Amino acid sequence: ATYVNNLNVTEEKYQEALAKGDVTAQVSLQPALKFNGGGHINHTIFWTNLSPNGGGEPQGELMEAIKRDFGSFQKMKEKMSTATVAVQGSGWGWLGYEKDSGRLRIAACANQDPLQGTTGLIPLLGIDVWEHAYYLQYKNVRPDYVKAIWNIINWENVNERLQMARK
């Protein structure tokens, strides 16, 4: 709710700045728009990507695409885990869809930067590596958190996101 509330307040200020033609205010508000908008988008995707009944391996078209683009599910997991753990400070690890090539790609974004706005990839699966996501359970051992999160990934949701991205 904090991201949405802050986004709404910032949007209101931005609209006022537009109406006044205040370019300085417009520019100064852009980081808050990106941070709060990205935080809302990223967390909305993240929570649907998880399920207490998740884990295992993806099925169908998603698994076929993973095998085609990474060689195997295990290789994709390793590549995404490595990229996610390597995020400096806070950020996100992503499995995204590149519309132009029709391929899956791994990417990482700092802070709350939204994947699509940062890389052009359509987000399918996101792993939050802000410390608040894992510190209570995993302390500062990010690799253990990333290893464990695969046990609750909602592959149905990720597959649905791929279907939508391909349209």
Which residues participate in the annotated binding site for Mn(2+)?
43, 128, 132
- Strands of the chain, DSSP E: 91-98, 103-110, 122-128
d(Cα 31, Cα 113) in Å, to the nearest integer? 10
Binding residues: 43, 128, 132
- CA dist., res. 111 & res. 163, Å (int): 27
Buried b (16+ CB within 10 A) or exposed e, 88-108: eeebbbbbbbbeeeeebbbbb
DSSP-based helix, strand, coil % in the chain, nearest 5:
65, 15, 20
Find tokens 């909602």 and name the residue.
Answer: 154
> How many CB atoms are closer than 10 A to CB 164?
11
